[in-house]
Each structure stands twice: as C-alpha cells, then as structure tokens.
C-alpha cells in the first residue's frame, strides 16, 4: 500500500466493555449492556474494519482524493477459539483485542468488577490511546459505532479521545432491536410488558408497522418515535437515545461478509463444498450426503424462535405423507439441524434445556421421526458449515441486522426468514418469508404451523430453491467488503468535504 502524507482514520470496535477502560461512570456503562458483545457483532466489526483497511484508499483515489488509510480496532475476541495474532490483518490496521473479563471460576464479571479489571489494563489502554493520538494527527478520523446503546457509551469515550484532535462520531452500524429500545427508554414499562406476556404482541405489532411504512431504525426522529409507540402502545416521552448524540439521519452501515469464508459452489465441481462440509462437520450427527437439510445458525435461546419453528417442523413431518400422496413424486423427508450452541450468559443454559425438552417431547410422540431435529450444543463457525445446508432458516421474532442469512446467500444457500422489518429491508425479494407465531382468542401466542408448513413445502421445490439461491448471491454482493468500504467513504466525503483536501488541487 502506497505511503501518503495524510491519512483518513477509522476508529471502531464493540465499545461497551472497552468503555470501562476510559473510566466511564458505572451507570453509563451499565446502560450499554456491557459484557454481552461477543456474539455476531464482534466478528462483523472485525470484518468491517478490515474492509475499510483494504478498500478505502482505492475508493478515495477513484473519487479524486490522495489519502492513505489508518484503522484502529479495539474489541473483545469475536468468538471462541479466535486468535487475533493469526488473523492476518492488513498492515494499516492496528488491533487491540482482548477477552471479556471473567472471574477465575469462569463466571461473567459484574459491571463493577469489569471496571476494576479493565483499570488494571492500564498499559494496554495507554498504548491504544497513543495509537489514536497518532492517527488523529495524520488526518480526519471517524469513529464508527454499532447499535445506539454502543453509541451512547461512545459519547463518553470520545469526550476523552477528542482532546487529541477533531474526531467525527456519526456512524451507526445496524438496527437496534425493538425490545432493547424500550428497555432503555422505559425499564419499568419493559418489565411490565414481560410480566404481562405482552412483549411478544408489541414486538409483532411494531414489526408490522415498520414493514408497512418502510421505516428503518435509523430514519427520521418522527419515524423512530412512531416505532417506539408501536412497540409500547403509548407515546414515550423524551428523545430516542440515538439522536442525543447523532444527527437526525444516521448512515446505517451494513455488516460485511467474508468472501474467503462464504462463497458458492464451483460450477465445475458441483456439491464439492457441500459434501466436504457434511462429511467433516455434520456426519457425526447422522447427516448423510443425500439428506435434505434445513439449517439454522443462531444462539440457542427461546427468543430466537427455534422452538416454535421446530414445533411447526414436526407438524409438517406428521402431515408429510398426506401432503405428498404420490410416493413416486414424494421428496426426501427433510431434517432440521440447529447450530449455534448455548451462549455463555446467565439463564441461557436453562432456556436451552427447556427448548430441548420441548422438541424431544414432540419426537417421542412421533417415533418414526426420531433424529430429524438435531440440536448440538456446539457453537459452529458458520463459514465451516454454510454450504452444508439446502436452506437456511431464520425464525426470529425480532432482529437487528442478522448477518447469518447474508453469509448463507454468499455461499449460494437460499434463505427462509420471518416477516420482520430487518429481514425485509436487507433481503427484499431474495428470500421467502413466513409468520412464526399467531395469537389465539385468549391472547396466547402459538406457532403458526400453517405458515411454517407452507414455507417448508416451498423449500422442497427444486425450482424455488434454485431461483432463491441465485437471487441470494446477487443480494449478498451489496454486503461485500468493497461495497461497504465504498459506502463509508462516499458518505464521509459528502458529509464532511471540508475535512478533505482534493488531490487535484495540490498533487
């Protein structure tokens, strides 16, 4: 990469935990949900930072700006077994990565304990601040945050960093979950909704408002208020947290797809990746090469909807022979493989055991379908099994961005997703959709088995699968590293032209 006198800097990372290193007051850190950011967002942050490091200089040059690029990433380790020293990052990307603070027995640290642990990492934080000072001295520096609770914490972090030079905090990376919004805006109301059983109803109502109105979570202030109102059933006083620190309209930066990990089959060697991944990772669970496999990749807890989808899946199996009466045209009985493992968070193990019990009860009542739902408590890396599925299903009631279906698309695997706003906004016509739950006369939510059965029938149609596999590959291209770097750079140039010197005026 060429050497330049001036550079454009990007400072990013999951900031909830690292905020503690900057002496953020405990009440501000607690508001961020600190300690929970080692899921999908953390590896996506790494990928986004790498995208900017690799492609931003080229995009700047194409726009007529002669700048180098600096990237500073500080974030927890993205996932178990990840070694940042072996990641092979670009030379212009400096990283400060660390595991989440835990007690010696492995249990998660409390907020106060977390702050004390981070304060003991003074040498590491001093080194990161020195890197940041150097970055700011070389040119305009932007700070990219994820969902708005992270941005709320970042305001306090950047207040300290700003003493080193002008820093521009203005980017939001993806949607904030509806339930998280109301939890921050009105904890008492959130608790009442949970206790009364109305949270699911409000979530579904809010998602319908978003879909019908084509509202994004980072749209205008009035639209955000409308979303909160749809979720809570009443107007929430005060401004939404995002707008206290950001402009009225904030760029939503898509998460990026690692094309080295996720790519479709080679037409010259069809099913090679599929068969290799099934043999290497799924064979021990009874998955054969000829099986039709509907896969799921997400953490295993009830809110992700896999228990409801599994119930609908079993109902489909029960009706299978009635749905396909002609044995000569009957498809192979599908299997459901749910990968993701139980997150290391309080209460998650109990949720997993309840989910497992619920599914096993269905299997015991339908013994001929034993082994057709497989739920290993293992956190598979999606890149190692993405091609092994015939379809990927995403049955969540609410999502932020939902990276896994985009990764599946890049691997040439079609996706079936719930009718929620984030799915429609980021997949459009490249996915098939279904309703996960329905409300009965008594206000109780149960699986919408008819909708689930119908979507599984569509999955088993070879022509539908081929169409959505191709549509998904096209859709995934807008989440490539180059596409995301281009989006970021062009937005920086349009919003802050005074921060840049046009190369044609001084080259």
Rg (CA), the chain: 24
- Of 153, 130, 132, 128, which Cα lies nearest the Cα of 142? 132
- Of 402, 476, 500, 427, which Cα lies nearest the Cα of 166? 500
Q: Which two tokens stand for residue 498?
A: 């005074």
Helix %, strand %, coil % of the chain (to 5): 50, 15, 35
pLDDT in tens, the chain (507 residues): 556 778 998 888 765 443 333 333 333 333 333 333 334 566 667 778 889 999 999 999 999 999 999 998 876 655 444 555 556 788 899 887 665 556 666 665 555 565 565 556 666 667 777 888 888 888 888 877 665 445 555 555 566 666 766 666 555 555 445 555 555 555 666 666 666 666 677 667 667 766 666 555 444 444 455 454 554 554 444 433 333 333 433 566 777 888 888 999 998 898 999 999 999 989 989 999 999 999 998 877 767 888 889 889 989 998 999 999 998 989 999 999 988 777 666 677 887 788 788 778 888 888 888 889 998 887 677 888 899 999 999 998 877 678 889 999 999 999 999 988 778 878 989 999 999 988 888 777 888 999 999 999 999 999 999 999 999 999 999 989 999 899 889 988 887 888 887 543 322
- Interatomic CA distance for residues 481 and 52, integer angstroms: 8
Residue 481: CA count within 13 A, CB half-sphere: 20
- Interatomic CA distance for residues 418 and 402, integer angstroms: 11
E strand residue ranges, 360-457:
373-374, 391-394, 415-418, 432-434, 437-439, 445-447
For the chain, report the end-to-end CA distance as a whole number of angstroms. 18
The DSSP secondary structure of 151-207, one letter per residue, reads: HHHHHHHHHHHGGGS-EEEEEE-SPPPHHHHHHHH-HHHHHHHHHHT-HHHHHHHHH
E strand residue ranges, 361-439:
373-374, 391-394, 415-418, 432-434, 437-439
Taking the CA atoms of 130, 133, 135 and 138 in sequence, report the sign of the dihedral they define. negative
* CA angle, 188 then 189 then 190, to 5°: 90
Report how far Cα 42 is from the mean position of its chain's Cα atoms. 9
Fold annotation for 272-479: Rossmann fold (3.40.50)
- Interatomic CA distance for residues 339 and 320, integer angstroms: 24
Residue the block writes with tokens 């985009």: 406
What SS3 state is found at 363? helix
Which residues make beta-bridge pairs with 417? 394, 433
Domain range summary for the chain, segments of one domain joined by +: 7-174+481-497, 177-240, 272-479
Which pLDDT does position 182 carry in this prediction? 56
Q: Which two tokens stand for residue 337?
A: 């493989």
What SS3 state is found at 376? coil
Q: What are phi and psi of 337, to 5 degrees?
A: -115, 115
Q: Which two tokens stand for residue 293?
A: 């496999």
What separation in angstroms does the CA of 340 have from each of 103, 296, 381?
A: 24, 8, 8
Which long-range contacts link 494-498 to residues 24+ away (Cβ below 8 Å)?
495/170, 496/140, 496/168
């Amino acid at each position: 990469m060429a050497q330049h006198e001036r550079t454009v800097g990007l400072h990013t990372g999951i900031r909830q935990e690292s905020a503690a290193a900057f002496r953020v007051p405990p009440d501000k850190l607690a508001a961020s949900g600190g300690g929970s950011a080692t899921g999908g967002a953390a590896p996506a942050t790494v990928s986004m930072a790498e995208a900017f490091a690799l492609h931003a200089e080229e995009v700047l040059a194409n726009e007529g700006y002669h700048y180098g690029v600096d990237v500073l990433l500080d974030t927890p380790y993205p996932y178990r077994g990840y070694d940042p020293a072996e990641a092979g990052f670009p030379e212009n990307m400096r990283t400060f990565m660390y595991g989440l603070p835990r007690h010696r027995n492995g249990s998660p640290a409390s907020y106060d304990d977390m702050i004390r642990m981070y304060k003991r990492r003074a040498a590491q934080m001093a080194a990161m601040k020195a890197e940041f000072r150097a970055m700011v001295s070389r040119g305009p520096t932007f700070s990219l945050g994820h969902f708005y609770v992270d941005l709320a914490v970042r305001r306090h972090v950047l207040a300290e960093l700003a003493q080193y030079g002008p820093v521009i905090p203005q980017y939001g990376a993806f949607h904030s979950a509806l339930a998280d919004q109301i939890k921050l805006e009105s904890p008492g109301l959130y608790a009442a909704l949970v206790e009364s059983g109305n949270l699911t109803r409000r979530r579904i109502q809010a998602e319908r408002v978003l879909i019908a109105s084509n509202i994004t979570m980072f749209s205008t202030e009035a639209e955000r208020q409308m979303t909160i109102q749809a979720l809570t059933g009443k107007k929430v006083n005060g401004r939404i947290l995002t707008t206290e620190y950001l402009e009225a309209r904030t760029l939503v930066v898509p998460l990026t797809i690692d094309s080295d990990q996720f790519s479709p089959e080679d037409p010259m060697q069809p099913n090679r990746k599929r068969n290799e991944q099934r043999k290497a990772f799924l064979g021990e669970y009874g998955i054969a090469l000829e099986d039709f496999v509907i896969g799921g990749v997400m953490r295993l807890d009830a809110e992700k909807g896999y228990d409801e989808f599994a119930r609908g899946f079993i109902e489909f199996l029960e009706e299978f022979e009635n749905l396909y009466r002609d044995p000569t045209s009957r498809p192979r009985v599908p299997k459901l493989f749910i990968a993701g493992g139980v997150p290391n968070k309080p209460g998650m193990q109990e949720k997993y055991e309840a989910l497992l019990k619920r599914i096993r009860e269905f299997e015991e009542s339908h013994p001929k379908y034993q082994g057709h739902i497989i739920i290993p408590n293992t956190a598979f890396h999606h890149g190692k099994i993405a091609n092994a599925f015939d379809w990927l299903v995403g049955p969540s009631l609410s999502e932020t961005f939902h990276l896994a279906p985009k990764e599946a698309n890049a691997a040439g695997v079609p996706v079936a997703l719930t009718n929620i706003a984030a799915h429609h906004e980021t997949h459009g016509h490249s996915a098939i959709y279904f309703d996960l739950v329905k409300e009965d006369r008594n206000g109780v939510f149960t699986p919408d088995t008819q909708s689930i059965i119908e979507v599984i029938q569509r999955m088993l149609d070879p022509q539908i699968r081929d169409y959505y596999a191709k549509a998904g590959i096209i859709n995934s291209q807008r989440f490539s590293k180059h596409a995301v770097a281009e989006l970021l750079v062009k937005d920086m140039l349009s919003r802050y032209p005074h921060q840049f010197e046009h190369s044609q005026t001084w080259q």
